[in-house]
Chain A
Amino acid sequence: GQQLNQSPQSMFIQEGEDVSMNCTSSSIFNTWLWYKQDPGEGPVLLIALYKAGELTSNGRLTAQFGITRKDSFLNISASIPSDVGIYFCAGHIGNDMRFGAGTRLTVKP
């Protein structure tokens, strides 16, 4: 199926800044997931969202499941150098699971 629309494609930020990225789709999903992938490794699950409107935090990370069920965003507060990597969103409904193309985050010390 068609992949999700994830933006921005890349971000260059200064350490300490906040970051925001989002995913949108023309289809609805029952679950939104956010992953982080380091070079040469598999994606690691950061946050899972199960209900429209749900806002969930994991340390400095906060993600929301959009009310329309067609979008989700991820915020990272007070970025640090180890936040560097590629962040992926994923939407899931039934047997359909789709991924965004990823947001490549670079954090300058």
Chain B
Amino acid sequence: KAGVTQTPRYLIKTRGQQVTLSCSPISGHRSVSWYQQTPGQGLQFLFEYFSETQRNKGNFPGRFSGRQFSNSRSEMNVSTLELGDSALYLCASSPPTAASYNEQFFGPGTRLTVL
């Protein structure tokens, strides 16, 4: 079974630009969560999508947004990029069974560098 895939793996942008990151969950998984990871703040939750609906949201500004498609693939968008947005952005999917819902499987991440 293929794991969580994220594209692109690396991205360089300049301040003020916008960026869209993509995540394809493990087949059969319907929940997709996004995280920002930085050396200073560690892993921080951005938002979670389930069946095309945002189910949970972290404490990030409105410049960070996401969506989920009917095939469970998800995209995350960051507008008006700031230097502090440089980070590893991780996507994780969860299996649909109640017993293992809490288990998140992470993708390799997208390394975003803002210059």
Name A residues whose Cβ lies closer than 8 Å to a Cβ of B: 3, 30-31, 33, 35, 40-45, 48, 50, 88, 90, 92, 95, 97, 99-102
Contacts and interface: CB of A to CB of B under 8 A. Distances in A.
Contacts of A33: 102-104
Given A97-B45, A102-B42, A42 B102 contact: no
B99 A50 contact: yes
Given A42-B4, A42-B109, A95 B56 contact: yes
For the residues of B in contact with A, the DSSP-based class is strand
B111 A42 contact: no
B42 A101 contact: yes
A95 B94 CA distance: 13
A42 B103 contact: no
Contacts, number: 48
B108 A41 contact: yes
B49 to A, nearest CB: 13
A43 B106 contact: yes
Interface in B71-115: 90, 92, 99-100, 102-109, 111
B43 interface: yes
Contact of B43 (A41, A44, A88): A88
B55 interface: yes
